[in-house]
Amino acid sequence: MFDSLSTGFQAAFKSIRGKGKLTEANMRESLQTVEQALLEADVSYSVVQSFMEHVTEQALGRRVLLSLRPDQELIRIVHEELVKLLGPVDNSLHLKKDGCTVLMLCGLQGSGKTTTCGKLAQLLMEQKVRPMLVAADLQRPAAIEQLKVIGKTLGVDVYADLENKDPVAVCQAGVKQAQASGAQVVILDTAGRLAIDETLMGELKRIDRKMSPDQVYLVVDGMTGQDAVNSAGAFNEALELNGVIMTKLDGDARGGALLSVKQITGVPIKFIGTGEKFDALEVFRPEGMASRILQMGDIVQAAREAHRIVDERDREEMERKMASGEMTLDDFKNMLEKVAKPGLMGKMMSLLPGMGQMKELLDSDEATGGIRQTIGAINSMTAQERRNPKIIDAQRRARIAKGAGVQSPVITQLVKQFEMMKPLMQGMAGGGTAERAKMLQQLQSGNLMNDLSMRGMKSKKTTGKRLSNDERLKLRKRREKELRQAKRKGR
Amino acid sequence: MAFWKGKSQAPDEDPPPTSLLARMRTGLRKTRDVLNTDIRDLFKSEGRLVDDPFLEELFARLIRTDMGVGPATTLRDQVAEEFRGRVVKLEEVLTNISRQTEKMLSGQSNALFEAPSGPTVILVVGVNGSGKTTSIAKLANNLHRSGKRVLLGAGDTFRAAAVEQLTVWAGRIGCEIVTGPPDADPASVAFRTAQRAADEKFDVAVIDTAGRLQTQTHLMQQLDKIRRVVGKQVEGAPHEVLLVLDATAGQNAISQARGFSEVAGCTGIILAKLDGSAKGGVILPIHQQFDLPVKFIGLGEGLDDLAPFDPKSFAEALF
């Protein structure tokens, strides 16, 4: 129990102490890692470049809080910025209060427009809105048939005209019929086309001009690579996009193209498609997507949790107390409680350099049990005792032990440990750099963890001056003299 | 510079300095040693100093092809090692890289396997929307035109109207097709296709499958079943399992190649949608890792828009 407690304490302490600020030097490597991660997630090169510049700017000079290494803090910032860039969330389809809202879907071939049409129809019906689908894909064989089958499955009307070869006319007729039949939303399923196909892009522009749809959504395949900037850019230029839907995210694609598309178009991301079933359309959540793109979810999670449990004010207060040596058992308990949160301990430990095996140890019930026991013991003390543990005598000790349900030596040990830690912390929190480094070394050297009785630890701030034999002799003589004097007086 | 050499060369032979750069370097080493300067620079009337901005630009060009961070980094570092501090033209460096790419991709045959006796069975697989059905139509048209008797198998019984889509194509090509009712077991359609191809002495049977993501284990197992049932009908079938990759796909294509190769035993790739602005560079790491030859490229929605893969033009179009 003792060693794990010490380790936990060390973790908590280091967390709160932090490790200074983010600088170009301590960020360089991590920035490279992040850049690589983004490129591997298929974020377009130019987007990665501007994003990395932005992140560096944001991160420089930021204090590294509870996250234990600068790179963890950096990744948290990267995640935060990714979320910002992917947001803000706007999942509304902006349906008109009355009349018929016209939605148009467009995109490359095979991006999933027709399936998404079905999914949107399903979503609308769930909201008690009556949709109608218009089969405006006159290119691909049986695309009309596909939409009809979807309509039949969902019980949604589909307008199709097998004879007509002009998508503009089909759309116009479709909307007219929708209005007549009282549908509240019309979804136009346009043909897939390449962004560089001028004829087909011209056709799309014509539909856009004639129909002036209320909302135009670009459907993007989640597996798209670097080309996403080009295609999304072209669609955005040809049409006024109102939103983006990314499909096929139920696989292992990281979907970095979404970042490119968002950067280029600037329009909100509405939904993501996560399956072939019609209910597999999820509202877009930037947090989840950012983690997916970065694939450093665990680190981000731990770093965020760390931020959550100790806010800046707490931290400064704690640091001040440590530096002045005013730490009480109460403060100690607070720290332990923060560290003992389920799951967090392990996460924090795994973030510490070279602490891999410690994680296992700390994940054990024994370790958290030990911390709980200590917290329990402190809880059984009076306020006075917590402020000044020196007053704990045998009688008090027995009472505390009974209250906490432990043997009284545990209490002795706890008090001893706390008293030993105090100067250490003071040294680290307030002392000069050299002294702090020494203390850290002592903490990390393993003495603390291996030597159960902590005998090996120096608890004094300095070891003091080394005395020569002569000096020691003098001192002893003086002490003996004082003792004799005291005896004489007492008599 | 040939970071992908490993696969295609036998490990015991001493790799000759095949790359142009390497050859040039060997040839010029002596001169350089004497002059203590690089003679190649003397001939350069213009060009750029190979420094960090240069290398960054090169890296950007490489990344844009979708070849991925790993290969792009290797190539960049090799160029840095060979040319740093010298004056070169970026375009020349890129030309060189494409030549090597070409060489690497030329090492494999892109011809379709033909069964010695009985019908050749081709199974076509891929993720949703990659272009399987269209590619099958184009492939069938190609074979039909070359005088082969082609039978199509509409094995995508899942997606709405996929069967109709292939039926329309079969009508346009003028070839036979085997279909099943919607939601039928695709293996049964495949079985009947193989059976009919054998019985009626078709030359080639091309079987469509529903799009599936490589992570959907149960659907991937279905491919294994299809393989087994056609194998029972026709000896050695499927003779070809073609993976259709979308040229606009990014690094996930590697995962697709891995997933489909493992379960369906792919023998080649059809790189669809190469007529857009996407480069399809992801086939480089795929070649490196799985040694899957690209057999055809798709260049449009028309029946004739399928071409045999040509490493030279592909490599030239990369940058």
Q: ipTM of this predicted complex?
A: 0.84
Taking the Cβ of residue A366 and every Cβ of chain B, the question of whether any pair is shorter than 8 Å is answered with no
The residue-averaged pLDDT of A394-417 equals: 87
Q: Is the pLDDT of residue A347 over 90?
A: no
pLDDT band at B9 (very low <50, low <70, confident <90, very high): very low
> What residue has token string 């890692």?
A33
Q: Is the pLDDT of residue A356 over 50?
A: no
pLDDT band at A418 (very low <50, low <70, confident <90, very high): confident
Q: Residue window 383-442, chain A: list those with CB within 8 Å of chain B.
A: none
The residue-averaged pLDDT of A110-135 equals: 96
Choose the most confident range, by mean pLDDT, from A95-99, A421-425, A444-448, B297-301: B297-301
CB pair distance less than 8 Å for B165 and A248: no
* Whole-number pLDDT of residue B8: 41
pLDDT tens by residue, B222-244: 999 999 999 999 999 999 999 99
pLDDT tens by residue, A358-388: 444 445 555 666 777 888 888 899 988 888 8
Q: Is the pLDDT of residue A208 over 70?
A: yes
Choose the most confident range, by mean pLDDT, from A32-46, A348-362, A471-485, B107-121: A32-46
Residues of A in contact with B60 (CB under 8 A): 45-46, 49
Smallest Cα distance from A35 to chain B, Å: 10
* Whole-number pLDDT of residue A175: 95
Task: Sketch out chain A's domains with CATH numbers.
Answer: 3-86 (1.20.120.140), 101-294 (3.40.50.300), 303-490 (1.10.260.30)
* Whole-number pLDDT of residue B24: 47
Q: Is the pLDDT of residue A456 over 60?
A: no
pTM value?
0.73
Lowest mean pLDDT among A155-169, A291-305, B296-310: A291-305
More confident residue, B104 or A354: B104
pLDDT band at A225 (very low <50, low <70, confident <90, very high): very high
Smallest Cα distance from B64 to chain A, Å: 6
**Within a 10 A sphere around the Cβ of B50, how many other Cβ atoms?**
20
pLDDT tens by residue, A67-87: 456 777 788 889 899 999 998
Q: Is the pLDDT of residue B16 over 60?
A: no
The mean of the pLDDT values for chain B is: 87
* Whole-number pLDDT of residue A484: 84
Smallest Cα distance from B245 to chain A, Å: 11
Q: Is the pLDDT of residue B56 over 60?
A: yes
* Whole-number pLDDT of residue B222: 95
The residue-averaged pLDDT of A235-239 equals: 95
Q: Is the pLDDT of residue B20 over 90?
A: no
The residue-averaged pLDDT of A90-104 equals: 92
* Whole-number pLDDT of residue A364: 55
Q: Residue window 194-223, chain A: list those with CB within 8 Å of chain B.
A: 194-196, 221-223
Q: Is the pLDDT of residue A317 over 60?
A: yes
Task: Sketch out chain B's domains with CATH numbers.
Answer: 23-105 (1.20.120.140), 120-310 (3.40.50.300)
Q: Is the pLDDT of residue B14 over 70?
A: no
pLDDT tens by residue, B171-205: 999 999 999 988 889 999 999 999 999 999 999 99
Taking the Cβ of residue A230 and every Cβ of chain B, the question of whether any pair is shorter than 8 Å is answered with yes
Q: CB neighbours of B281 closer than 8 A, spacing ≥ 6? A: B62, B65, B66, B67, B68, B318
Smallest Cα distance from B4 to chain A, Å: 19
Query: Which residue of B173, B252, B275, B282 is the best one to mutate when testing the A interface, meaning the one whose CB has the most A CBs within 10 A?
Result: B252
Taking the Cβ of residue A107 and every Cβ of chain B, the question of whether any pair is shorter than 8 Å is answered with no
